[in-house]
Amino acid sequence: MADQSEKPEVFELNNGSMHVKISNFGATILSLSLPDKQGNLADVVLGFDSIEPYVNGAAPFFGCIVGRVANRIKEGKFTLDGTEYTLPINKPPNSLHGGFKGYDKVIWKVAEQKNGENPSITFKYHSDDGEEGYPGDVSVTATYTLTSKTTLRLDMEAVPENKPTPISLAQHTYWNLAGHNSGNVLEHSIQIWGQHITPVDENTVPTGEIKPVKGTPFDFTSEKKIGASIHEVGLGYDHNYVLDCGEEKSGLKHAVKLKEPSSSRVLNLWTNAPGMQFYTGNYVNGVVGKEGAVYGKHAGVCLETQGFPNAINQSNFPSVVVRPGKTYKHSMLYEFSVE
């Protein structure tokens, strides 16, 4: 548990061309400012001007790291090594993003800060045995680094200390490459290096099937506008893609390319996670954010690399169980450019 004397603070990473504000509350990206093709800076993440609304629960997971297990666990139940665990049902009828007080709603300790050309900040959190119903103590670290002029890297690690436990962390930033206050993201084009999705039931839990996207509105294997077929998928996209066809570099595979036509800003995301939740902000509804901007439906897009949702209950999904002596590792590389 966080020591009560620690309070939410804001830290900055700045390398001269990219400027990121991050809080120890939820290891949350509050803002990320980047140049467009003319050199004009814009903040491309949804959020609030101060830390208070995050602490007061006004954010629909803006910018934070979620855990111990990202996404949904069916009916908040799982069995591990013969023991049944029951989790809080914070998104009925399921448990979502770690429960009522997941890693997004706690204060992380600042373990290290580095300045200079590649500034970084490392946060640590100790998750207790039984916290939100999960087994065993887990030590979690998250390091944000500006690895080049326009690249942000996030390295997450988690070590179970005394019991096996499911672990699957995700970074839940909502992106709008035109600027956080520029309306919806339906004109952004996107390419996802995933030839399959894990289809879901009426409660947004995967059925266990792994389904090809070819010939469906879910096919983003070549670049297309987010809005092109969105009307065919109900409220919008909120689906886990199987990252099965991206080229690799430095141990990470290409997950997604997001491009915004008016600013020419591009985000290429690389990861070592097996899946990615592609979520088009379907439930964002009149949230008053930075500079008084009103965020409506589809105001941002989340690209949450992750273990597959409900993997703890689906034996055909890659396992998210981590045992003592092993380390969970999840890295994400956000490469920004203009083209």
Q: Residues with Cβ < 8 Å from 209, sequence gap 6 or more?
A: 198, 199
Pick the catalytic residue: 97, 131, 132, 172?
172
Does residue 304 carry a catalytic annotation?
A: yes
What's the one-letter identity of residue 242? V
C-alpha count within 13 angstroms, C-beta hemisphere, residue 317: 31
The b-or-e profile of 132-165 (16+ CB within 10 A means b, else e) is bbbbbbbebbbbbbbbbebbbbbbbbbbbeebbb
Label the pairing between strands 151-160 and 138-148.
antiparallel
User: Within 10 A of 313 (CB to CB), how many other CB atoms are there?
Assistant: 17
Cα dist from 33 to 17, 42, 192, 260, 297, whole Å? 8, 5, 24, 15, 22
Q: By C-alpha distance, which of 277, 10, 267, 5 is closest to 123?
A: 10
How long, in residues, is the chain? 339
Does residue 172 carry a catalytic annotation?
A: yes
Is 269 buried (19+), middle (13-18) or exposed (0-12) by CB count in 10 A?
buried
Pick the catalytic residue: 239, 260, 304, 330?
304
Q: Which residues are catalytic?
A: 172, 304
